[in-house]
Structure formats: C-alpha cells, structure tokens
Amino acid sequence: MKGAIKAAIADGVLTFMWIFCASSLGALTYLASSALGLAEGFPSLLITTVFIFLLLFIFGIIGDLLGGATFNPTATAAFYAAGAGGGDSLISAALRFPAQAAGAVGGVIAILEVMPMQYKHMVGGPSLKVDLHTGAIAEGVLTFIITLAVLIIVLRGPSNPLIRNWLLAVSTVALVAGSSYTGPSMNPANAFGWAYINNKHNTWEQLYVYWISPFIGAILAAWIFRFLFPLPTKQKKA
C-alpha cells in the first residue's frame, strides 16, 4: 500500500509538470517559428515535433527518477494490461488515476497563471467538434493507434533513447495533426484538467469521450500487443 501511495504521488507530480509544459507547446512553436521566419505548415510541425521529443526525453528521465511515474492514465493501464506494468495492481491504479487527474488540474491552473495574456488563446484542452458518439469512437481509435505504437516502440523498439523518443514524438504529432474530431486528447488526465477549469468535468461527454473510450482503446491495444508479442512462458522447475 505504501508503494502504491508513493507511485500515486509521483504520478501526480509528473502529470502536473507535463500538463504545464505540454500546454505551452503552441506558444513555443509560434515563438520559434516567428524567430526563424518559418511559415505555418510542415516547418511548424517539425518544430513542434522537436519540442515534444525534448519533453519526452526529459520526462522519461524524470519519470525513471520518480520510480516509473507516468502522466497518462491510459498508458498506465495499457502497460499493465500488456504485462509490463511492474508492480502495478488494481489498488495502485485506483490511486494513480485520481492523482494524475489532480496533477493535471494543478498543471492547467499553473500554466494559465503564468502564460502571458497575448498567448493565452494558444493554450487549451480538447473540445468535441462532432457528435458525441462519433467523438467517442474517434478518441477510442486514436488512443488505440497511439497506444499500440507506444507499446511497440518502447517495449520492442530501438534501445537508443534518442531514437526511441524521436519515434514517439513523430507518432504523436502525426496522429494529432491528422485528426480534428476531439482535439484530440488521448490522455484522460489532460482532458479532465481543462474540463475542471471550465466546470465541465462532471458531464457525460467528459466521462464517455475522454475517459471510457480512451481506456477501451488503450486496453484493446495492449491485448493486440500481447497477441503479436506473447509474454515468455515461464519454465516449470522439475
């Protein structure tokens, strides 16, 4: 139980930091593009990819220092379902998910406090742009795709952390840039943080689109991963 509490606290801290930093990507990309005189489109996407790569690399180190902390509830669930969750249990998950959501709320509040007024329109959470069921399906499918990609890259991909994080960054940007149904979020904690600030955290849309659907997508991705890459069978001792 003590270990589960420590993991939850670590997740909350890491999620706070991630939401704070990730929410500034729009403004950072704009400032970098303007400074370099780059037009919108592919050059801006490349800059965003570089920023995400740096964040993933740094947060990977911080997460390891915090004992394997994560900032995405679906990632926690997916790695557990894929058999790579370490010491995670249902009790641990029951503590880690709320901690991640609370950390996200703190991160949103913090970034809104420090972001200059002229850039505040560049920060914000996911918003549903289609009907409820289409949005839920889209969020589930997108989470399935990114989760399967993450599992393959992290557990079966290159051992070099630079290459691994670059692949993760490219996958994330490609998926987000190519979709417009739900934002998208693919991270229930992130969606909850912004919904809480806007007093929409207790709606059916928030639960259905940004929690239930992503978890279904993530768990399905983990099961597909285990089918493609079965866990090694333990040999029974004679």
DSSP per-residue string spanning 56-121: HHHHHHHHHHTTS--S-HHHHHHHHHTT--TT--HHHHHHHHHHHHHHHHHHHHHHHHHS-GGGGG
Res. 183: pLDDT tops 80? no
What pLDDT shows up at residue 71? Answer: 93
Pairwise pLDDT comparison (42 vs 104), residue with the higher score: 104
Res. 182: pLDDT tops 50? yes
pLDDT tens-place string over residues 24-64: 998 999 999 888 887 777 788 899 999 999 999 999 999 99
Provide the pLDDT confidence category of residue 110 given band limits of 50, 70 and 90: very high
Kindly report the pTM of this predicted structure.
Answer: 0.87
pLDDT, mean of residues 83-100? 77
Mean of the per-residue pLDDT values of the chain:
87
Which of 38-47, 127-136, 209-218 is predicted most confidently? Answer: 209-218
User: What are the distances in angstroms from CA 73 to CA 66, 69, 96, 144, 169?
Assistant: 16, 11, 8, 13, 18
Distance CA 165, CA 159 (A): 10
What pLDDT shows up at residue 238? Answer: 45
Distance CA 207, CA 200 (A): 10
Distance CA 37, CA 102 (A): 38
Any idea which of 3-17, 62-76, 90-104 has the lowest mean pLDDT?
A: 90-104
What pLDDT shows up at residue 52? Answer: 93
